[in-house]
Amino acid sequence: MMADTDKPGDADNDTGVLTDTKPKTQKPPLYKVMLLNDDYTPMEFVVHVLERFFGLSHAQSFEIMLTVHKKGLAVVGVFSFEVAETKVTQVMDFALRHQHPLQCTMEKE
Ligand code: TYC
């Protein structure tokens, strides 16, 4: 906040109004969607999930799958709350239907 340094007499005859403003707009929060590694889900299944639900190319999908496999997890994309929630639900449902223990989670950025 800008300080008003006017003395009581206000010799410069300004009104002492503070002109600093605070932006009042809010950016919508974004959510990271992450895939977690496990020992059982086949690599090809994970690649397929990334292509199908995240619109990634085969090469990008393979690369992200390998990152998860080696590092334990990776961010797959960043979305609004509703889109992130939908992706997580779609992936978890698809993995369950195919009896793979693949885990997908979301976290506020
Ligand atoms: N670790 C798994 C395997 O060796 C492959 C895998 C990769 C599983 C990514 C989950 O999110 C995952 N078959």
Question: SS3 for the chain, per residue?
Answer: CCCCCCCCCCCCCCCCCCCCCCCCCCCCCCEEEEEECCCCCCHHHHHHHHHHHHCCCHHHHHHHHHHHHHHCEEEEEEECHHHHHHHHHHHHHHHHHCCCCCEEEEEEC
pLDDT tens digits along 57-109: 999 999 999 999 999 999 999 999 999 999 999 999 999 999 999 999 999 99
Calculate how far, in angstroms, residue 99's C-alpha sits from the geometric centre of ligand 1.
14
Atom of ligand 1 nearest to the CA of 41: 8
pTM over 0.85: no
Residue 7 banded pLDDT, cuts 50, 70, 90:
very low
Residue 40 banded pLDDT, cuts 50, 70, 90:
very high
Query: Mean pLDDT across the chain, nearest whole number?
Result: 88
User: How much is the pLDDT for 102?
Assistant: 99
Q: Which residues line ligand 1 (CB under 6 A)?
A: 35-39, 41-43, 46, 65, 68-69, 102
Calculate how far, in angstroms, residue 66's C-alpha sits from the geometric centre of ligand 1.
8
